[in-house]
């Protein structure tokens, strides 16, 4: 299967990165290399692009796409949460720009064997890095009802989380839940018929929640942003594209905290905590895709781009 992925907010992201021809840039979620291709094309012979992704198929696809720029591109198979260590191993301590395009790619959703989508009946997998042992099947069959409820409620923002968790636990007492199709039927039975008729596919939120849990997506994002900002040179920018409110909230909070880290009470006349600002939030409101982009790529609909500039 070809790795096809339409890069969301492509022009806006390239503009916000303010690429210098001799700069060093990191794409922490390389995917098919759409954003990276544009970054590499804007670099001169003295510039460098480092692409990181944990998905083997993404690495192969991006390698082909970036072949014309191989003299200035380094690809690393890893999770962006290990960026400092990974870049340190190739002698890079600081960069001039970082991009994170979060969530699941079109290729991962459309590849039926990966188990990310509720549209195909296949084995429950959902691993972005297939070297890891934990799969969606493990979560569905081994988590307690309370743990499943927490995951589906918190990561899927699903109002019927408690009932879905109860139905999952009840169903697996007969036999292990092995496929996305089986999980779909269980979720469908747990949601009232009149509610299934509105708001899109009934499994959408639960599948999102299980995928986020399986890949520790929010935990990785929350734990990485401060360190990524520290890796920026003065004037360097980090651009983060999110696809749901949980991710966006984490990015918004982290950027604000790095802009104004002062912990002094509001009534203190001067700051005494010694926490200095690391930069400024470029996007007071997130940059959203145009109506034209949404028409040509429906997966862009929920995308938001936030940008932070290091001082």
Residue 4 has pLDDT above 60, yes or no: no
How far, in Å, CA of 238 to CA of 227, rounded? 11
Structure tokens at 225: 């942003």
Structural domains in the chain, CATH included, are 10-107+220-310 (3.40.50.150), 112-215 (1.10.150.170)
What pLDDT does 283 receive?
98
Contacts by 134-137 with C-beta closer than 8 Å and gap 24+? Answer: 134/214, 135/214, 136/210, 136/211, 136/214, 137/176, 137/177, 137/178
Per the listing, tokens 């790529």 go with 297
Residues facing residue 164 across a β-bridge:
none
Instruction: Sheet with 24-27: list strands edge to edge.
Output: 73-77, 48-53, 24-27, 95-101, 232-242, 304-310, 279-281
What pLDDT does 109 receive?
75
What pLDDT does 196 receive?
86
What pLDDT does 152 receive?
98
Residue 7 has pLDDT above 80, yes or no: yes
Q: Tell me what the mean pLDDT of segment 168-180 comes to.
A: 97
How far, in Å, CA of 223 to CA of 208, rounded? 20
pLDDT in tens, 8-26: 999 999 999 999 999 999 9
For the chain, percent of residues with pLDDT exceeding 90: 86
pLDDT in tens, 259-294: 999 999 989 999 899 999 999 999 999 999 999 999
Q: Across 9-132, where does the E strand assignment appear?
A: 24-27, 48-53, 73-77, 95-101
Q: Tell me what the mean pLDDT of segment 68-80 comes to.
A: 97
pLDDT in tens, 83-112: 999 999 999 999 999 999 997 877 777 777
Contact present, 310 and 276 (Cβ < 8 Å)? no
Residue 3 has pLDDT above 90, yes or no: no
pLDDT in tens, 190-236: 999 988 877 789 999 999 999 999 999 999 999 999 999 999 999 99
What pLDDT does 58 receive?
87
What pLDDT does 5 receive?
58
At residue 263, φ and ψ (nearest 5 deg) are: -105, 10
Quote the mean pLDDT of the chain.
Answer: 94
Residue 27 has pLDDT above 80, yes or no: yes
pTM to 2 decimal places = 0.93
């Amino acid at each position: 299967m070809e790795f096809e992925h339409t890069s969301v907010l492509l022009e806006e992201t390239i503009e916000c990165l303010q690429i210098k021809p001799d700069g060093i840039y990191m794409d922490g979620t390389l995917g098919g290399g759409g954003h990276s291709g544009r970054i590499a094309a804007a670099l001169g012979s003295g510039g460098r692009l480092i692409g990181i992704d944990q998905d083997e198929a993404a690495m192969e696809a991006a390698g082909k796409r970036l072949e014309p720029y191989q003299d200035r591109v380094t690809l690393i198979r890893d999770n962006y949460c290990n960026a400092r260590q990974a870049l340190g191993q190739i002698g890079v301590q600081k960069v001039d720009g970082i991009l994170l395009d979060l969530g699941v790619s079109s290729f991962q959703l459309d590849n039926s064997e990966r188990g990310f989508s509720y549209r195909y009946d296949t084995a429950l997998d959902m691993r972005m890095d297939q070297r890891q042992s934990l799969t969606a099947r493990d979560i569905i069959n081994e988590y307690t009802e309370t743990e499943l409820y927490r995951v589906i409620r918190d990561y899927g923002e699903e109002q019927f989380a408690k009932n879905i968790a109860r139905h999952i636990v009840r169903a697996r007492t007969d036999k292990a839940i092995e496929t996305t199709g089986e999980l779909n039927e269980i979720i469908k039975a747990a949601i009232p018929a009149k509610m299934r008729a509105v708001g899109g596919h009934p499994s959408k939120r639960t599948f999102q929640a299980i995928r986020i849990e399986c890949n520790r997506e929010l935990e990785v994002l929350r734990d990485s942003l401060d360190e990524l900002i520290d890796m920026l040179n003065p004037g360097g920018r980090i651009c983060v594209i999110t696809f749901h409110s949980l991710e966006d909230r984490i990015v918004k909070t982290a950027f604000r905290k790095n802009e104004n880290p002062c912990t002094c009470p509001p009534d203190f006349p001067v700051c005494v905590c010694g926490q200095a600002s690391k930069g400024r939030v470029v996007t007071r409101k997130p940059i959203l895709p145009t109506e034209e982009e949404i028409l040509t790529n429906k997966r862009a609909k929920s995308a938001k781009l936030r940008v932070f500039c290091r001082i």
